[in-house]
Amino acid sequence: MLQAPSLLSLGACAVAAGVAAHVARRALLHRRSGTPALGFDAALARLSGSSVEDLILIVDFDRTLTDGDSAQCHDVIGATSLVPESLRAGFAPLLDFSDPAKVPYKGDAWWVRANELLLTHASRVLTPETVRRLVHEAPLFGTSTQPMQLRPGAARLLARLSELDVPVLIVSAGFADIIAAFLAARAVPLGSNVRVCSNLLVHDAASGQLTGIEPSPPITGCNKQLTFERNRDWFTTTHRRRRDLLVTCETPPRRF
């Protein structure tokens, strides 16, 4: 029986390492058996002997797949002239992190408040077409110093993992609609190997108006430890035989 090609020989790990070296404060490799998480160098060494049949990549979106100074999903959706001024005014204090102590909402409440503002002030204008325009026209705002843009190597990484049929779970406290529109605008397809676990804008089929945001309560930067429960079928049925999880993000949660 032929041994499955290693990740390094196929180039996937090299590309992932290039992205991770730029983004992650640390990259974690989790074994299904419960082996403690490893640091980046140890994870890379472990992966060098793994095969593509064993790998799952879990990756954050904002400032991980996108550049470290990039506008984030909430910057894009709450700071553009395409949405009402009342929404921009409501989002302004949420997006101003110049003094974190003065941010008006903490923890999950920040995302809950953002969703309330969107449903109250932008339900009529935040259509799928507007979402597609947002990724092109969002200004610099909040903590961003440049528009939303991909991190160098990210498009190549996603394309190579698609070629190898390596499962990719994009976990984001932003918006799946923004992520999909942004990647599509840059000709980065979301292949069948990719699942996006993020907040979803729900639109009326006839009018296109925003009618809700799912899930409720929202996916936030404070509850990503629920990733496994939110995607249990994906992990335990679709990809139950895969053993190695490469988690690449700015600040990994303690567990998924």
The string of pLDDT tens digits covering residues 103-126 is 889 999 999 999 999 999 999 999
The predicted structure's pLDDT at residue 189: 81
Residue 155 phi, psi (nearest 5): -65, -40
**Residues 210-223: what's their mean pLDDT?**
96
CB 172 within 8 A of CB 196: yes
Residue 129 has pLDDT above 90, yes or no: yes
The Cα–Cα gap between 68 and 19 comes to 11
Residue 57, beta-bridge partner list: 168, 246
Q: Does residue 101 surpass a pLDDT of 50?
A: yes
pLDDT above 90 as % of the chain: 50
As a whole number of angstroms, the distance between CA 175 and CA 171 comes to: 10
pLDDT, mean of residues 183-203: 94
- The pLDDT of residue 51 is 83
- Residue 3 burial (CB < 10 Å; 0-12/13-18/19+)? exposed
Write down the residue that tokens 């700071």 correspond to. Answer: 79
Predicted pLDDT at 140 = 62
Confidence of residue 250 (pLDDT cuts 50, 70, 90): low
Going by the DSSP 8-state scheme, the letter that residue 235 receives in this structure is I
pLDDT grade, residue 143 (50/70/90)? low
Q: 12 or 217: whose pLDDT is higher?
A: 217
As a dihedral over the C-alpha atoms of residue 142, residue 144, residue 149, residue 150, rounded to 10 degrees, the angle is -110
Q: Which of 17-26, 80-89, 113-122, 133-142 has the highest mean pLDDT?
A: 113-122
Q: What angle do CA 5, 11, 13 make, to 5 degrees?
A: 90
Q: What is the mean pLDDT of the chain?
A: 81
Instruction: Give the pLDDT band (50/70/90) at residue 181.
Output: very high
Residue 73's SS3 state is helix
**Which of these ranges, 75-89, 143-157, 175-189, 227-241, has the smallest mean pLDDT?**
143-157
What one-letter code names the amino acid at 119? L
Residue scoring higher pLDDT (81 or 88)? 88
What are the tokens at 62?
Answer: 């904002």
Lowest mean pLDDT among 23-32, 77-86, 189-198: 23-32
pLDDT reading at 133 higher than 50: yes
Pair of tokens at residue 92: 């302004």
Q: Report how far residue 191's alpha carbon sits from residue 41's, in angstroms, rounded to the nearest whole number.
A: 29
| Cα 100 versus chain centre, distance | 23
Distances (CA, A) of 51 to 18, 40, 103, 124, 243: 18, 18, 45, 48, 10
The predicted structure's pLDDT at residue 29? 40
Give CA–CA dist 132/181, Å, rounded. 5
